[in-house]
Structure 1
Amino acid sequence: MISALTRFLFIVCLAFIAAFITLANLGDKWAIGIGILILSIPLVYSYINLARLRKYVLNDSVEKMPLPSGFWEEVFFRLQRLVRNLKQKIRTIEQQHDHFIEAFQASPNGIVMLDEGDHIEWCNSIAERFFGLSFKRDVMQRINFLIRRPEFIQYLQKRNFDDPLLLERMGPDSSLSLMLQAFPFGRNRHLVLIQDVTDLQKADAMRRDFVANVSHEMRTPITVLMGFLETVQSLDLKKEQQDQYFEMMMSQAQRMKSLVEDLLMLANLEANSLPATNATVKMETLMALLKNDAQALSQGKHALNFNTNSSMNLLGDEREVLSAFGNLVSNAIRYTPDIGSINIAWNVNADGQGEFSVTDTGPGIAAEHLPRLTERFYRIDRSRSRDTGGTGLGLAIVKHIANRHQAQLVIESTPGRGSKFTLRFPKERVSA
C-alpha cells in the first residue's frame, strides 16, 4: 500500500514539473498559475486524507473511519480490513489466555511459573494459599526469597528436578504436607506443580500405626503361648499344673482368635461403603441373644437390666447390628467394676428414631478422650484394656456399622459417674 502511494505521488510530481516547464516556455504567467493550482489539487487531497488517516490511527479507530472516494477509498478499505483481522486475532488470543488462566485456577494443585532467574511470573490461588503468596504483590520476585525452606532452596540450586520434593509443616497453620516438582518449559523457564498430600501422609501414618499395633497385639499372646509350651515341654508338671497352663494357653489363643475376627470384620466393613440391607431385625429376639451373652460374660458380677420399651423392629443387617450392640454391651461389662449396674435399652424416641443405649456405672471417660474412642486400637489405659480382654477394635467396628446403617453413635460420660453409649437410627430404619 505504501509503495503504491509513493508511485502515485511520484507520477503527480512528474506531471506537475512537465506542465510547469511547458507553460514556462510559452511565457503565459496566468496559464502557469492556473496549471500549478490545478496540479496541486491532488496533492492537497492526498494530504487531507493522510491527515485523516493519522487522526484515526492515533485514536485507534481505523475500522470506524468513513471511506473517501477515488484512489484513497481502496487504501482506507484495505487498512480497515487489516486492522479488523488483527484485532480479531488479538481477541481470540486473549480469550484463549483467559481460558488457560481459568483452567489453572480451577486446578486442585498449586501452579507457579518461574522465569530463567526463578522470578515468579504467575501463580494460581492454590499456590498463594499453600505458600502465603500474593501474585499482585510478589510478581517478579525471586521465589527463594519468599519460600525460605533450606531444602527448597537447595532443590532449586541443584537444578535436578527428576524427583519431587516433600515439604512438611507448610501453610498458614503449619499443618500441610506439600509435594512439589519443577518441570522445564519454554526458554529456561520452569513450571512448579504443588500437591497437597496431607491426607495421604496421615493415611500412611495410620497404616504404619495400624500394622505396629496389630503386630504388638499379636506378639503378646504368642509370646505367652510360647512360654507356656516351653514350660510344659521342659518340666515334668503335675496334672493340675498342666491343666492350669493349658487353660491360660487357651485364653491367649482365644484372645488371638478374637483379634483376628475383629480385624476381618473391620476390613470387610471398610471395604464395603454401601448402605446396609433393609432386612427386618427382630429386636425382641436380638435383645434375648444379647442378654444371654452378657450374663455369660459377667458371670453374675454385675446387675444387668434389659429393657425393650418398644415393639418396633429395626431394618438392617442382623449380623452387623448384633456385632455393634454386642461390642457396646461387652465393653460396659469389661470396664464396669464388680457389683456395678448396666442398663441396656431399646426404644423409639418422639422423632421416630430407634435408640439402642448402654448405660454403666463404670469409672467414666475424660472429655479429651471422647473424640478418639472410635479410633482403631485407641485405649485410655492399655494395661487395663489387656486385663479385660479387649482388642481395641470394638468401637471402630461400631462406628463403621453405624455409618452403614445411617446411624449416629452418641457417647456421654462423666469421670467417676459412668458412661452412656447410644446408637441412634433414622426413622427410615425403624419398622413395625
Structure 2
Amino acid sequence: MDSTWLVLLSLALGLVVGAGFVWLLYSAASRSHRATEIVSPTVPDGVDQVLEALPTAGIVVDPSNNVVRASAGAYGLGLVWNAALSQPRLVELVDAVRRTGDPLEEDLELARSALGDATVLLTVRVARLGSRYILLLADDRTEAVRLEQVRRDFVANISHELKTPIGAISVLAEALESAPDDPEQVRHFASRLTNEAGRLARLTQDIIDLSRLQAADIVPHAERVSIDHVVTSAVDQNRVLAESRGIELATGRHSHAIVFGDENLLTTAVHNLISNAVRYSPDRTRVGIGTRLHDGIVEITVTDQGPGIPADDLDRVFERFYRVDQARSRATGGTGLGLSIVKHAVQNHGGEVRVWSKPGSGSTFTIRLPEAEHIAPEPLKPGLPKQAPVKQGERTT
C-alpha cells in the first residue's frame, strides 16, 4: 500500500509540475505576442491603399507617437523624420485628439526643413483611426495661396495703373470744356488728351496680350519662322522713335535661323526689347540688335547704352508692373508689362530670356530659342537643352 501511495503521489506531483510548466509557457507566449504587437503594430485593413491614393499627405501615428505609416507626400513635405513627426505643432494636435477624441482642423505655416527658411502652408486634419491610432492628413496649399496673392496683386495693380490715364483724360476733358475760345489751349489740351488715350490703349492691349500668353503654356499653331524677318520687322516698328532722338539701331549680319512658333508673338517680344532699349537710352547713342545660331540655340540680343539696372532689381524686372525707375518709365509712356510679355512669349516657345546689366554701362537682353531643325514641328513644350545656370532678371517698361 505504501508503494502504491508513493506512485500516486508522484503522479500527482508530476501533473502539478507539468501544468505549471505549461502555464508558464503560455504566459510567456502571450507576453511575447503582446510585445510583438507593440513593436510591430498593425493598422486597420485598407489604410495602406488609402494613403497611396490620397492626393494629400497622410500619416498614421501609434499611441507612442511613432509614425507607423506615411505617404510619399508626407516625406516630401518634410513632416516625417526618423519614424516620428518632425513638427512640434503636429505632435500637439495629435495629443489633443488623443485626449479629447474630437477631430481637429488647423491651417499651419511650417518650415519645410531645418536646413533652410522655405515654408509650406498646410491645412491639417487630425482624427482617430480605430481605438489605438491617430490619422493626420495635410493638404499643401502653398501654391494655391501664392497664386491667389498674385491674382490680388494683379487686380490691384491694374486698378492703380488704369486710374492714372483715366484721371488725366477726365481732367483734360474738363480743361478743354473751360477753354473753348482759346485755340492755343485747345490744341495743347487736345494733344495731351491724345497722348493719354494712346497710353490707355497700350495698357489695355498689353493686359490682353499678357492674359492670353498666361492662359496657355505652348504655342497652339506653330509654324516655321525666320528670325531675320522677325528682327527686321521689330526694328522697323521702332525706327521712327529712334530717329527722332538720334539713336542708331545697329543690326548685325543675318543668321538665317529658323524656329517653330508664332511670328507675331516673337515680333512683339523683340519689339518690346528694342522699344525698351530706345526709351531708356540717352539721345544720340546706339542700340545694337544681333542674332546668332550656336549649338542648336538661336539667340537674339538687344544691347543699350542706358543707365543700367541695379543688381537688387535684376531678379524682379520681369514682374508685372515692376519698374526700376517709376518716374522715368511713366514719362516715357511705359505700361510696366513689356518685359513680362517678353518673358511669357519666349517661354511659350520653349525658350528663355537672360539679362546682363551694370549701372552706368547699359543692359543686354538675350532671347534664346531652340532652332527648328532641333525640334519636331509640333506644338512646342517649354524647355531648352541643358545649359549651365545663369542668373537672370528683367526690366519692365
User: For the superposition of Structure 1 and Structure 2, which TM-score range results when normalised by the shorter chain?
Assistant: 0.7 to 0.9
Kindly report which structure 2 residues correspond to 1:407-418, keeping only aligned pairs within 5 A, or say none: 407-418=351-362
1:166 and 2:107 correspond: yes
- Specify the alignment match of 1:336 in structure 2: 281
Q: CA deviation at 1:256?
A: 1.1
1:109 and 2:57 correspond: yes
Higher relative contact order (CA 8 A, sep 6+): 2
1:69-94 deviation digits (Å, cap 9, x = unpaired): xxxxxxxxxxxxxxxxx99xx8xx95
TM-score, length basis structure 1:
0.68
SS of the residue corresponding to residue 342 of structure 2 reads: helix
- Specify the alignment match of 1:286 in structure 2: 230
8 A Cα contact 2:56 2:137, kept in partner = no
- Specify the alignment match of 1:205 in structure 2: 149
Amino acid across the alignment from 1:260: T
Structure 1: tracts of 5 or more residues without a match: 1-28, 62-85, 148-152
8 A Cα contact 1:336 1:360, kept in partner = yes
Change (3 A) 1:158 1:289: farther
Q: Distance in 1 between matches of 2:9 and 2:27?
A: 27
8 A Cα contact 1:276 1:404, kept in partner = no
TM-score, length basis structure 2:
0.73
Kindly report which structure 2 residues correspond to 1:1-400, keeping only aligned pairs within 5 A, or say none: 53=22, 57=26, 60=29, 96=43, 100=47, 104=51, 108-109=56-57, 111=59, 126=74, 143-144=91-92, 164-168=105-109, 172=114, 173=117, 175-183=119-127, 193-275=137-219, 277-301=221-245, 302-349=247-294, 351-400=295-344
Structure 2: tracts of 5 or more residues without a match: 376-397
The worse-fitting range, judged by mean Cα deviation, of 301-310 and 212-221 is 301-310
Q: CA deviation at 1:202?
A: 2.2
1:372-415 deviation digits (Å, cap 9, x = unpaired): 11111111111111111111111111111111111121101111
Q: CA deviation at 1:157?
A: 12
The structure that has the greater radius of gyration is 1
8 A Cα contact 1:355 1:424, kept in partner = yes
Q: CA deviation at 1:229?
A: 0.7
Q: Distance in 2 between matches of 1:305 and 1:213?
A: 35
Q: Distance in 1 between matches of 2:42 and 2:102?
A: 35
8 A Cα contact 1:290 1:326, kept in partner = yes
Q: CA deviation at 1:212?
A: 1.2
Q: CA deviation at 1:255?
A: 0.9
1:77-121 deviation digits (Å, cap 9, x = unpaired): xxxxxxxxx99xx8xx95655973696598743657698xxx957
The worse-fitting range, judged by mean Cα deviation, of 175-184 and 290-299 is 175-184
8 A Cα contact 1:127 1:194, kept in partner = no
Change (3 A) 1:112 1:211: farther
Change (3 A) 1:324 1:157: farther
Change (3 A) 1:200 1:382: same
Amino acid across the alignment from 1:233: E
Amino acid across the alignment from 2:273: L
- Specify the alignment match of 2:379 in structure 1: none
SS of the residue corresponding to residue 372 of structure 1 reads: coil
8 A Cα contact 1:120 1:138, kept in partner = no
Amino acid across the alignment from 1:100: V
SS of the residue corresponding to residue 252 of structure 2 reads: strand
SS of the residue corresponding to residue 242 of structure 1 reads: helix
8 A Cα contact 1:346 1:357, kept in partner = yes
Runs of 4+ in 1 over 6 A off after TM superposition: 32-37, 39-49, 127-135, 137-142, 155-162, 187-190
Change (3 A) 1:255 1:156: farther
- Specify the alignment match of 1:10 in structure 2: none
Q: Distance in 2 between matches of 1:129 and 1:271?
A: 29
The worse-fitting range, judged by mean Cα deviation, of 49-58 and 276-285 is 49-58
8 A Cα contact 1:283 1:313, kept in partner = yes
Amino acid across the alignment from 1:344: I
Match of 2:348 among 389, 394, 404: 404
8 A Cα contact 1:303 1:342, kept in partner = yes
8 A Cα contact 1:354 1:426, kept in partner = yes
Q: Distance in 1 between matches of 2:131 and 2:42?
A: 24
Aligned residues: 364
Amino acid across the alignment from 1:228: L
